[in-house]
């Protein structure tokens, strides 16, 4: 790709991200609880997401560990 096309794509994605951020800031989700009950809401409604995220991070760490050589491998 040409440099100019990459700049256009970057500008478009930046503007879309800024628009999404402003939309979420000005129109908060009514289902989101108040700040005091956030911890309970997170663990009660998003348990599966949190478990999957932890497993993905752990899997990534194990993948990196698998491709790195052992400490005594060069002897």
Q: Taking 80 as the threshold, does the pLDDT of residue 37 lie above it?
A: no
Tokens at 73, concatenated: 């491998």
Average pLDDT (40-66) is 84
Q: What is the dihedral of CA 43, 48, 51, 53, to 10 degrees?
A: -110
Percent of the chain with pLDDT over 90: 5
Maximum pairwise Cα distance, the chain: 61
- Phi/psi at 25 (5° precision): -70, -45
pTM above 0.85, yes or no: no
The CA distance from 72 to 47, in Å, is: 40
pLDDT at 58: 92
């Amino acid at each position: 790709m040409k440099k100019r096309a990459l700049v256009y794509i970057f500008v478009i994605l930046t503007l879309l991200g800024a628009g999404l951020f402003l939309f979420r800031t000005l129109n908060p989700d009514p289902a989101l609880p108040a700040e005091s009950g956030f911890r309970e809401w997170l663990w009660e409604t998003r348990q599966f997401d949190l478990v999957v995220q932890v497993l993905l991070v752990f899997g990534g760490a194990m993948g990196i560990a698998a491709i790195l050589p052992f400490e005594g491998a060069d002897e």
